[in-house]
Structure 1
């Protein structure tokens, strides 16, 4: 093993030679995750529904792992508990630096997951594989139980089965979630014929309490006097209560709100973010949105290292983690499990979301195959890793075992075909010039039809000034915009999501997130000039006077509105905003990596 905590992890005794089954297996009581025997594609959530045999097996397999005893390491509860709460060891995986509850107040995260560092994309890869493998394991057993006239088709479907993804930046996502995510029951063909079963994709009912009770009235078991909590951190879910999305005072899902928000944010937030992401050619900038600026990122380990005087550090405003955060907030809502880092995995939608994040990772790899995980600092820490650990591609991705004595690392999971799965776009462009895939992705996620001059607002946000999650909405040419201004306003350009997993950064922290919003479409809607320094555009041809729309004043024309999940507005300074800048550029006249390298023209800036 390379650099990593492997020497600290509690292992079982070494075994000279072991033959492992495909998918997931138990050896000496330990869970081992191994590649699938065949390479099969993970399907889009909409297309997956049309594959009847796979869908039937997937639903039954999902139901089966949810119905397992919560103490079983192959249960939905235990797998979901890997990510955040309940901050306990999964499958006995600990280390000399195992998380202690007292470290919470110092900012250390108590789950195994990585956020805000270079391992964010690669750590979640074996995580999705684990839940996928457990579902497939059940599906193969169920397939064998079908009557002889159906068995062959279901056995074949079980071999092809992979976890589907929900592309929240795709055109279909404007319609919201597929209907099968919010039906209480699903009618499917089972080994005993057509049956209605409790839908495992709508929610998961907690077998034990999750998190801690809040003030009286803000807990689900306080009904009929339940008040959706306005706290920003970890609602309480009592034993016997399900996960929810946008809960109302009756602790019921509000899919009208979820789907409405999707209809707004797909084009204003998600598409532009993914479009930007595929411009970034360096894994460091692609992988995550957090950075330190005090030279703890090891000076010569990668090019472009920031100097200690560069207070904002890198500008991770086109990373895959940025829109990822946004979907968590937009799909969960106030009080909804998806919106909270510690609780999010207990909503089955999480795994569809992260299958899509993994898809973006795989597509980005195909476009930029020579860039991978660099050495970097993992600020937050995890259940097994202390804060500020120096990590790289050989760092153990705990708690995912590839054998009884070894854990998967980022180098191991770099090639998804070797893991036994792929994605439709990779199949379509396999063996072709990566530029063809790149152009296809630009066309797929283009935010609007304007490919000439573009304008971006870049926002630098100090972490820890305000405990999240919260949004920073960006409005154009609406000086008095506030938290009550609807996102349906033509002045709304997009938002930056602050989905914090960091709970107690000091006020003088040097860690920042840098977010960006493409304001070009909003400018088009409002008739604001989209060229620079053109005399014909800046003056009235009759009077010779300067047109009112000719000057772009950042101070007056860009309004930032930070909003908590409960709708309460706070000031930009309270939200940690330290600086806003507006850049413009022509796509064919600047470096394609413009967002990282700021290769456009600076229109103006404002400090807070």
Structure 2
């Protein structure tokens, strides 16, 4: 969470008492696709939808902040201000800002680090989308008679687009639509340039609380990003931000540079691994552990025990890749980098619609794998820590009706909700392996290397306060936090998005992530053929060929780094062990991620 040690943590403006009818996350009566933002923006076919989309976002913003259907209130569901949304509380189990935080309980409604990560965010996006479409339908009726029919139909078909941040187009950086301050659209009053609502959202009330002198946006032009121990303060009237400078302005050049670097080093390799994972527990989140059974000593099943060598098994969940995008888009001081305030940046919704898309595609590839009973380790606003959860757990605060909440069992099939995705439609009814082959080709980090090399990191959670990343460098023993990620030695990272430190939180639980180091090895000319012990002995001398041995101490450097650029040792960052292994992806069983079918090169403990 990255919380400060303050009991007065929530916004000074709590949600008002609900006086209107309950807010329901409504399904759509007709089925239409959520589109790629690169196809949606600038395509004349979807121009009427786009015109409505931009106006609807602004209209969403313009609702009074006390309105439960306002952007402020809906965004506040995820994290801050840690107060009831639409009257939904946990009763006697409701989050208490002081005592519960000290126990390590998460104060927002969102699920992270458990099997409901994907399912919980699905009705969240549905609620946001349904409210947005209602705005669009209202605006469509305001167009002149000669355009009204076209816009009414566009509103009917409108669904929230996604940003595929692992697409090769993202090598160029973030789509311009998120960066420009103005945009031209056709409104009911004709064509005009309007303020672009997708660039930022201006807070109507204070978010979080003021920090020390120099660390608040009001201190610009001498603004200094606060310590990682504190969630940044956003005063009323100030916008959300990405990579803020001393004048509290976006640094889009830094944003674009970082995003473009991580497309090939983290996003594509992460998804490539993810679409090999056939077990929901492995796929669903970054917080599972031990094995596939729940026992007194194994509350968080999902992957092999991090406390013993497990050969070549490895793991890349949808949440692990999701976490990295948050860190990379927000940057030091940016809203997206902090779970407590991320949902106030409009880019959050494009990101999470894409996460839902990846979830839906994975379901199509592995249709028989689904939620098993698990434990909510972190707790939420309505659920205590260590509560048992399953597909029948209420996904609060999202109402299905006035008296019922959505459950994972209700939202398993997206078509029943009134939306789909182009690639889901494209492969519907075909052999799941056909879709899997398409996705593996789509996200394969590069097309040239059948044998891929990985570094697997096992990281104890809860060791540090604040989001941080664990960078992996190849063949650069003196790499430091100052070594740029543009270095040819940089291979990728594992993101620790919700790093918190509480005496009782996240006890003995781990995050496991892998970094594909193949491309870095190729750039550096490091041998990448199969390890074969019969070829490692020099026939003349009878000695081992030193160039053939993968030395983890010499060849792999682990560099934990906070958003502010400061670093700590791997042990201080919770790194328990690193392992190196390889697979021939095009030959092994598709379930290779949980089987010892690759080549193991050893491990190092910290």
Q: Same fold (TM over 0.5)?
A: yes
Q: Shift of residue 281 of structure 1?
A: 0.1
2:85 aligns to what? 90
Change (3 A) 1:81 1:536: same
- Could you tell me which residue of structure 1 aligns to residue 287 of structure 2? 290
Contact 1:471 1:498 (8 Å CA) reproduced = yes
User: Partner of 2:439 in structure 1?
Assistant: 441
State whether structure 2 residue 134 is matched by structure 1 residue 142.
no
Residue 21 of structure 2 aligns with which residue? 29
Asked if 1 retains the 8 angstrom alpha-carbon contact of 2:205 and 2:237, the reply is: yes
2:69 to 70, 74, 93: 74
Q: What's the counterpart of residue 472 of structure 2? A: 474
Q: Which of residues 211, 214, 219 in structure 1 aligns to 2:208?
A: 211
1:54 aligns with 2:52: no
| TM-score, normalised via structure 1 length | 0.91
Structure 2 distance, partners of 1:395, 1:411, is 9
The whole-number CA distance in structure 2 between the counterparts of 1:428 and 1:291 is: 32
Q: Is the 8 A contact 2:323 2:496 kept in 1?
A: yes
Tell me, yes or no, if the aligned pair for 1:166 and 1:356 is still in contact at 8 Å. Answer: yes
State the distance in 2 between where 1:82 and 1:160 align: 26
Query: In structure 1, what is the equivalent of residue 116 of structure 2?
Result: 119
Instruction: Name the residue aligned to 1:531.
Output: 529
Task: Output the aligned Cα RMSD.
Answer: 2.6
Seen in structure 2, the aligned counterparts of structure 1 residues 537 and 230 have a Cα distance that, compared at 3 Å, is farther
How far off is 1:294 after superposition?
A: 11
Give the conservation status (yes or no) of the 8 Å contact 1:379–1:387.
Answer: yes
2:158 corresponds to:
161
Cα distance, 1:591 vs. partner?
3.0
Partners of 1:425 and 1:587 lie apart in 2 by: 23
Q: Please say if residues 208 and 238 of structure 1, whose CA atoms lie closer than 8 Å, have aligned partners that are also in contact.
A: yes
Q: Secondary structure at the match of 1:290?
A: coil
Report the equivalent of 1:549: 547
Residue aligning to 1:14: none
Mean Cα deviation higher: 460-469 or 272-281: 460-469
Contact 2:463 2:499 (8 Å CA) reproduced = no
Q: Are residues 557 and 422 of structure 1, via their aligned partners in 2, closer, same or farther at CA, if it must alter by over 3 Å? A: same
Task: Give the whole-Å Cα distance in 2 for the aligned partners of 1:85 and 1:100.
Answer: 13
Report the CA distance shift for 1:312/1:606 in structure 2 as closer, same or farther (over 3 A): closer
Q: Is the 8 A contact 1:32 1:402 kept in 2?
A: yes
- Matches of residues 124-203 of structure 1 in structure 2 within 5 Å? 124-203=121-200
Residue 584 of structure 1 contacts residue 601 of structure 1 at CA under 8 Å; is this kept in 2? yes
Shift of 1:152: 1.3
Whether 2:483 is the aligned partner of 1:485: answer yes
Could you tell me which residue of structure 1 aligns to residue 502 of structure 2?
504
- Shift of residue 257 of structure 1? 0.6
Taking structure 1 as reference, are residues 100 and 508 closer, same or farther at Cα in structure 2, changes over 3 Å only?
Answer: closer
CA drift of 1:499 comes to 0.2
Aligned length: 583
Aligned to 1:400: 398
- 2:464–2:500 Cα contact (<8 Å) kept: no
CA distance in 2, matches of 1:534, 1:510: 37
| Secondary structure of 1:272 counterpart | helix
**Superposed displacement of residue 557, structure 1:** 0.8
| Separation in structure 2 between the aligned mates of residue 248 and residue 307 of structure 1, nearest angstrom | 43
Provide, for residues 261-288 of structure 1, a one-character-per-residue CA deviation record: whole Å limited to 9, x for no partner: 1111000000000000000001111000
- Residues 505/189 of structure 1: CA separation in 2 closer, same or farther (3 Å cut): farther
* More moved, 38-47 vs 286-295: 286-295
- In 2: Cα distance, 1:463 partner to 1:311 partner: 17
Alignment of 1:374-413 (within 5 A): 374-413=372-411
2:582 pairs with one of 573, 581, 584: 584
Is the alpha carbon distance of 1:437 and 1:100 closer, same or farther for their aligned partners in structure 2, counting shifts above 3 Å? Answer: same
Bigger drift between 544-553 and 205-214 goes to 544-553
CA contact (8 A) 2:201 2:344 kept: yes
Deviation at 1:183, TM superposition (A): 1.4
Contact 2:289-2:301 within 8 A present in 1 as well: no
The residue aligned with 1:356 is 354
Q: Distance in 1 between matches of 2:117 and 2:544?
A: 49
Q: Is the 8 A contact 1:539 1:546 kept in 2?
A: yes
Give CA-to-partner distance per residue, 1:430-484, whole Å, 9 cap, x none.
Answer: 1211111111101100011234222111111011111230010001111111101
Structure 2 partner of 1:8 = none
CA contact 1:174–1:264 (8 Å) conserved in 2: yes
